[in-house]
Amino acid sequence: MNISEVTAYSPTLHDEMAALMCHLSDTAQCSEAALRRTLTSRDCHLFVATDEEGHIVGSATLCLFCSPLGWKGSIEDVVVSPLCRGQHLGRALMEHILNFCHALQAENESAPLTLQLTSRASRTAARSLYASLGFTTKDTGFFTLKI
């Protein structure tokens, strides 16, 4: 397996990402427009795991932003194909993102980076993975609103 950052759009990329995203939830949809915005944003980094034939079998997105409380990164849409689960691809994707963030931090020593992510309680394997990497749960409510 290979993990790399994707920076260019292609119809094949869209098709493979759309097929993968449906494993996050019944309502997850990867539109062409959203994928293009992700790839063209300088603050978003889409990482994919590919198999020996170059097909995407896992992905995770890092979104960086600043707030008055500091520099933050949100890890979004971490997903591995059901056919490849149990092969530690989720761990490899997360470790790749952590290494990427450590490199960013080294370039920008004055600003600590706080990473955050969410995971449904039903995703016990994912939550166990995040805890094993040092993430802790935060006692907060998480709200969403589509506009």
What pLDDT does 129 receive?
95
Share of residues in the chain with pLDDT > 70 (%):
99
State both tokens at 95.
């470790």
Contact 141, 133 (CB under 8 A): no
What pLDDT does 110 receive?
65
Top pLDDT among 125 and 145 is at 125
What pLDDT does 75 receive?
97
Would you say residue 139 has pLDDT above 90? Answer: no
What pLDDT does 142 receive?
82
| Local confidence band at 88 (pLDDT 50, 70, 90 cut-offs) | very high
Residue 121 CA to residue 70 CA, distance in Å, equals 28
Q: Estimate to the nearest angstrom the gap between the alpha carbon of 84 and the chain centroid.
A: 17
pLDDT digits (tens, 9 = 90+) for 36-71: 999 999 999 999 999 999 999 999 999 999 999 889
